[in-house]
Amino acid sequence: MITRTCLLASLLLVFSSQDAFGQTFWIDSFETTGPTLGVGGTRAVSVGHANSTDGTNCAVGDYFFRTTMTGAGALGSGFDADFSAGADGSFIWRGEDLDACIVNPDTITWTGIDIMGMTGLLFSGRFAARDTQPFETTDRITVQWRIDAGALNDGLQFAPDGLGNLALDTNFDGTGDGAALTTTLTEFTFLMGATGASLDLVVTVSIDAGSEEFALDLFQVAGNGMVPVELKSFDIE
């Protein structure tokens, strides 16, 4: 009998164990000009912005851009709301009075997130808002998704709740009927009932008045799939 020991540097295996369940494989925490974890998902804002990945600070009270919580970053300052509670890291995305800046509604798009081999896709993100006057009936924050360049699907929406707040719109009818956004960045999630090779995310925001501020942070995608496992050795008889 001949016994041989073979060493494998790295072997990808599919596991159903808890360790492989719901692993986060893509993150954009707005700390840099693009995602901080994962393959693909280039960030881009609407045409016309001063910076294609970081947006624009047009003036005090008119902006749609990546900045520090206090506005002390390189892109400017002059904010009313403190969105530091619940923030991940030093930077967030925030906006106010978009039609006085570049365009309303305005968008952020992440294109080509690699989801090959992943199932049970889950999006999570942190959202906040503040107003010194009631949000109007046309105000919205919407997150949509599509796989392999297909049709866009609704994932999350926040809309006016009739009490002056932006609140979770659970049936996408334009009226907030769920939890209201506050100045604390709070996590909301949704499942994507499909899979494929490539995922796009689109955030569309329609906020067209001063003193109506919002913030976004820590966008993540998790799922079940292939995890790297190192097989030290095995014997062949």
Domain-embedded: residue 10: no
Write down the pLDDT at residue 231.
43
Domain-embedded: residue 1: no
Which of 146, 151, 152, 176 lies closest to 164, judged by CA? 176
**How far are the Cα atoms of 82, 231, 232 from residue 6, in angstroms, in the given order?**
58, 9, 8
How many structural domains is the chain composed of? 1
Q: What range defines the domain where residue 151 resides?
A: 17-225
Which of 130, 132, 145 lies closest to 203, judged by CA? 145
Domain-embedded: residue 162: yes
- Residues 109 and 190: beta-carbon distance below 8 Å: no
Strands (E) located in 48-181: 55-59, 62-68, 91-96, 106-114, 119-131, 140-147, 153-160, 166-168
Domain-embedded: residue 233: no
Write down the pLDDT at residue 185.
95
Write down the pLDDT at residue 236.
58
Write down the pLDDT at residue 16.
36
Domain-embedded: residue 198: yes
Which of 205, 213, 207 lies closest to 185, judged by CA? 213
Render each residue's pLDDT in the chain as its tens digit; 237 residues.
Answer: 443 433 333 333 333 333 444 799 999 999 999 999 999 999 999 989 989 999 998 887 889 999 886 664 433 455 667 888 999 999 999 999 998 899 999 999 999 999 999 999 999 999 999 877 789 999 999 999 999 999 999 999 999 999 999 999 999 999 999 999 999 999 999 999 899 999 999 999 999 887 889 999 999 999 998 644 444 444 555
Domain-embedded: residue 148: yes
Domain-embedded: residue 57: yes
Retrieve residue 196's tokens.
């494929």
pTM: 0.84
What does the longest C-alpha to C-alpha distance in the chain come to? Answer: 83
Distance, in Å, from the CA atom of 214 to the CA atom of 159, rounded to the nearest integer, reads 12
Domain-embedded: residue 185: yes
Instruction: Give the CATH number, domain containing residue 156.
Output: 2.60.120.200
